[in-house]
Amino acid sequence: MTLATHHDERSSAVSSNHGNTWTLAEASALYEMPFNDLLFRAQTIHRENFDPNRVQLSRLLSIKTGGCPEDCGYCSQSVHHESGLTASKLMEVERVVAEARKARDAGATRYCMGAAWRNPKPRDMEAVVAMVKGVKALGMETCMTLGMLDRAQSEQLSEAGLDYYNHNIDTSERYYREIITTRNFADRLETLEHVRASGMKVCCGGIVGMGEQAIDRIEMLTVLANLPEPPESVPINMLIPIAGTPLANATPIEPIDFVRTIALARIMMPKSYVRLSAGRTAMSDEMQALCFFAGANSIFVGDVLLTAGNPGNDEDMGLFRRLGLQPEEQ
Ligand code: SAM
Ligand code: DTB
Ligand code: SF4
């Protein structure tokens, strides 16, 4: 194929008009554009939809750590791997609300509570509902990630006032089965349907740097962008390799490819928050700056995520100052 033909095909694929149905060919054509063209396009779309210098701050809390029956190959909290993590019981409601208050006072506008469950048990629901109500009363947006939900549990959380439910598809359908065997891709989509049907906002993204191919990243974003409504929030995690897990020695993703993934998410889901999520401790300031330029507009703040490290407030506010970024206000 000549370069000219290739270019023509690429630009026609890239400029076609969308509802929200993307083909893999269109998404691949974007991902493979010259880097400057890709970033220019992503930044242009970003500016049409968001204030380019504002970044939303979310804070995570692990409300139930470790002992998880699922076998996700990346996770420190699975009982199937020897990561050395000590499992804990579900945290007291009052403690969760006290932690959320601290996060709010440090500038976070969204509080995301995560539990290492396959799914919540009926006996857990009362406590998680109370957590949602307590954190919402502080004036924060609430998010939870508790594993799979059935329709009734979704309704219960929605009625309690939960704003977002986080449930990641993590990678392509093809690569999913290489990473997790205790559930499948369709299970993930089913929970997402319940979350949507019960009126909550969807937070759904994935992990890159798990040894996948570029096409797996492109496919993952295509699935997300083609949902009946794209997720309002799209976390892109860079694998934090955890000793003792099957992915401890996975080949890391090239920083440029990571930035391409962020840009593609921005272009395909123009109105969604794209969160530069796990893995920032292993990123240079310059890499993070490129991610913000490519359209990332949300981060997790604080020095821990669920179990792994995160840059912490001083470092992040230093970077924001140097880049002229402002936290988004409540
Ligand atoms: N148990 C629930 C579930 O899996 O849906 C919620 C908690 S789980 C820890 C939430 C998400 O964190 C996962 O879907 C994955 O995307 C991300 N995650 C977990 N371990 C990670 C790691 N080592 N590096 C990067 N992201 C990770
Ligand atoms: C998401 O996509 N990333 C967050 C949140 N959703 C729950 C979790 C990142 C976890 C990183 C590994 C750890 O802290 O154990
Ligand atoms: Fe369990 Fe979630 Fe970790 Fe998978 S990612 S092992 S479901 S806590």
Residue 34: in which H helix or E strand, if any?
Answer: none
Per residue in 246-265, pLDDT (tens digit) is 999 999 999 999 999 999 99
Contacts of residue 238, defined as CB under 8 A and 6 or more positions apart, other chains included, come to 207, 208, 209, 253, 258, 277, 278, 279, 280, 282, 283
Q: Which of 63, 189, 237, when mutated, tests ligand 1's pocket best, judged by the most ligand atoms within 8 Å of its CB?
A: 237
Domain count, the chain: 1
Q: Is the pTM of this model over 0.85?
A: yes
Per residue in 75-125, pLDDT (tens digit) is 999 999 999 899 999 999 999 999 999 999 988 889 999 999 999 999 999
Range list of H helices, 88-247: 93-105, 125-136, 151-160, 173-179, 185-197, 214-225
Considering only 8-17, 34-43, 273-282, 306-315, which range has the smallest mean pLDDT? 8-17
Q: Is 215 exposed, middle or buried (0-12, 13-18, 19+ CB in 10 A)?
A: middle
What is d(CA 205, CA 2) in angstroms, rounded to the nearest whole number? 36
Task: Establish whether 143 is a catalytic residue.
Answer: yes
Q: Is 75 annotated as a binding residue?
A: yes
Asked if residue 245 is part of any domain, the answer here is yes
CATH of the domain at 123: 3.20.20.70
Q: pLDDT band for 19, please (50, 70, 90 cuts).
A: low
Per residue in 191-220, pLDDT (tens digit) is 999 999 999 999 999 999 999 999 999 999
Contacts of residue 149, defined as CB under 8 A and 6 or more positions apart, other chains included, come to 119, 120, 157, 165, 167, 191, 194, 195
Asked if residue 298 is part of any domain, the answer here is yes
Asked if residue 159 is part of any domain, the answer here is yes
Task: Establish whether 183 is a catalytic residue.
Answer: no
Q: Widest CA span of the chain, in angstroms? A: 65
What is d(CA 177, CA 103) in angstroms, rounded to the nearest whole number? 36
Show the domain range for 131. 32-322
CA 287 to chain CA centroid, nearest Å: 18
Q: Which of 72, 104, 280, 291 is catalytic?
A: 72
Asked if residue 37 is part of any domain, the answer here is yes
What pLDDT is stored for residue 8 in this prediction?
A: 39
Ligand 1: residues with CB < 6 A are 74-75, 114, 116-117, 145, 147, 167-168, 170, 207, 237, 239-240, 242, 278, 306
| Crossing angle (nearest 10°) for helices 285-293 and 35-49 | 60
Cβ atoms < 10 Å from Cβ of 150:
13
Q: Which two tokens stand for residue 198?
A: 């019960």
**SS3 (DSSP) at 105:** helix
pLDDT at 63 exceeding the cut of 90: yes
Asked if residue 25 is part of any domain, the answer here is no
Asked if residue 24 is part of any domain, the answer here is no
Cα dist from 14 to 23, 28, 252, 280, 319, whole Å: 10, 9, 28, 30, 33
Asked if residue 12 is part of any domain, the answer here is no
Asked if residue 327 is part of any domain, the answer here is no
